Chains A and B, each alone.
Chain A
């Protein structure tokens, strides 16, 4: 007798790698139960389990990643703590203070303050992300017209204070990193390839 499955529609077809495991009917009479126990006791199922774990212990094929010492590589598009990028040619901040990321943020955790600086350019004086609220959805990076805010690879955000992650200076690429070419760019629409063709945008037309 085939055990009656309560969930029938599991999309199991001929092609799929999934198949029904044949579940034996539960023993109902005492004699059947006794036979099952005797069968399971003496056909060595228990020893198969013992052998398997002993084999693994002897093989000593350890799969542990000793995390703080070893780290697994993460995907280039992994969405961890944000970064603010700089312009390759000039070293200025890319952020133009348009406020789109602030608007689109669904958890309302981005906040920026801007002013007009002495060159009549819009300058971002404060830029903060409340990582306690951020859900790392990536909308801010998606909407940014200047590729100024992107998601970084820094996923270890354990600290004494959450404020440590949201200071603008921590997110912004340091200038010496930029000159030594450590600022990473992601390939894709609108992205730039840093080479000689990237030149300074003339301010005066």
Chain B
């Protein structure tokens, strides 16, 4: 009974939070609601007995991904509401609702009559963390390695992109040098504009 109560409670909370995320025009509300929603999603993992995944959900999505979104939001004034241009709000609502219903139908229609059985039931002899490790390094080894390589590529690319001119320090340069550097970069952008 506790599980049912917890499931419906967290289901309602999650949907409510993500509704706020989509509907609000205030960026900070959206950020906070989305972070809270991510935490509430982890509750489902805990209810299912997947403690490890739940904790990872909190750490990765709430602790890291949402904080990076917040980094992006530092660049504009978050204390003001975003003014959105809506030409036909009713049209958007109808289309959105239709898309949501369609997705639910597509996913649920093939299995609505069958009785669900879990293919990999929790093995009580093996801990949650070990079980994930075993699956990850046997059955899903190639996707796992691929994801790792892609992340590595993204990391190196990020460092290369952000690392340009990192060795130069404006505080240690003379004024003429700075002017020279600005002029040269100005020329370069103009050249690029011509081509």
Contacts and interface: CB of A to CB of B under 8 A. Distances in A.
Interface of A: 26, 28, 30
4 contacts: A26-B172, A28-B169, A28-B172, A30-B167
A30 B167 CA distance: 9
A28 B167 CA distance: 9
A28 B171 CA distance: 12
A28 B173 CA distance: 12
Contacts of B169: 28
Interface in B155-180: 167, 169, 172
A30 B166 CA distance: 11
> Size class of B's contact patch?
under 10
Contacts of A30: 167
Classify the secondary structure of B's interface with A.
loop
Nearest to B166: A30
Give the top 4 A-B pairs by smallest Cβ distance, nearest first: A28-B172, A26-B172, A30-B167, A28-B169
Contacts of A28: 169, 172
A2 to B, nearest CB: 16
Contacts of A26: 172
Contacts of B172: 26, 28
A28 B169 CA distance: 9
A25 to B, nearest CB: 11
Nearest to A29: B167
Nearest to B171: A26
A28 B166 CA distance: 12
A119 B127 CA distance: 109
Contacts of B167: 30
A30 to B, nearest CB: 8
A26 B172 CA distance: 10
B177 to A, nearest CB: 14
A45 B169 CA distance: 27
Interface in B117-172: 167, 169, 172
A26 B171 CA distance: 12
A30 B163 CA distance: 13
A61 B172 CA distance: 44
B49 to A, nearest CB: 45
B129 to A, nearest CB: 35
A32 to B, nearest CB: 12
B170 to A, nearest CB: 13
A30 B169 CA distance: 12
Nearest to A26: B172
B162 to A, nearest CB: 15
B171 to A, nearest CB: 10
A26 B167 CA distance: 14
B146 to A, nearest CB: 33
Nearest to A30: B167
Nearest to A28: B172
A26 B169 CA distance: 12
A30 B168 CA distance: 12
